[in-house]
Amino acid sequence: MNMANVGGGVRPMRAAAGSLCLLIALVGVGYSGYGARAMGSVRESGGPTTFDPKHYKGPMGKIVLPYRGQSSLYVQQGDEILILNAKQGVFQAPAGVLDVVGTEMVATDAHKVRWTASGRMNHRLTVRRGATVRLDVGPPFTASIDVSGRRDVVSMDFKLVGRGGDSYTVLKSQDSSTPPGFKVLGKSRRTLWRGSFKYG
């Protein structure tokens, strides 16, 4: 997957396993329910409320993301969970101490395919009246795997990390059930093994 529209996209990384070089070919990184679980702890608290700055009567400030596109933030203020929405990465937010627990960012590629990056996190922000605070999360994303094992048994753990070290999943809207795929190449670049990271 090439998320060129998402601040630099996904950068595949290489990991050595013996004499093999393992390359990740992102066929499409699927949620398979992961995105819903990432926000599960938020929704269990009674359900989030979409924040509407047009009808909010209290003091407000702004939260700015590096990613200038359609995005949402899940924030907790006291016992209340709020969803902040923005089209260009600039959010109106209630003033006060906010705990950012999740984010979703959307991009459309050259083939009109919609991709949604979902991350879970724990960042505390203080939003002051009339002021702007930067939240350094989101793309570019780095895809990597941890490889362990011996002889002919190899264990691999797929990871997708954004700014600040937060973990993400990426959903391709046209095929939400497809897990991320990979290829194992030999020194001659011949494909020795291919498969997918299937998780529930």
8: left (phi over 0), alpha (psi -120 to 50) or beta: left
Residue 196: what pLDDT? 67
pLDDT of residue 197: 58
Pairing of β 114-127 and β 132-134: unpaired
Q: What's the pLDDT score for residue 29?
A: 36
Q: What is the largest CA-CA distance in the chain?
A: 65
Amino acid, single-letter form, for residue 84: L
> What is the rounded CA–CA span in Å between residue 36 and residue 166?
16
* pLDDT score at 171: 83
Q: Evaluate the omega torsion of the peptide bond into residue 53 and state whether it is cis, within 30 degrees of 0.
A: no
The per-residue pLDDT for 158 is 76
Alpha-carbon span 183 to 25, nearest angstrom = 6
| Identity of the residue numbered 103 | T
* Whole-angstrom distance, CA of residue 35 vs CA of residue 119: 8
Backbone angles phi, psi at 35, to 5 degrees: -60, -40
Tokens representing 27?
A: 């066929």
Q: pLDDT tens for residues 48-104?
A: 899 999 999 999 999 999 999 999 999 999 989 999 999 999 999 999 999 999 999
Greater pLDDT, 9 or 186: 186
What are 184-193's pLDDT values in tens digits? Answer: 777 788 877 6
Instruction: Please tell me the predicted confidence (pLDDT) of residue 178.
Output: 61
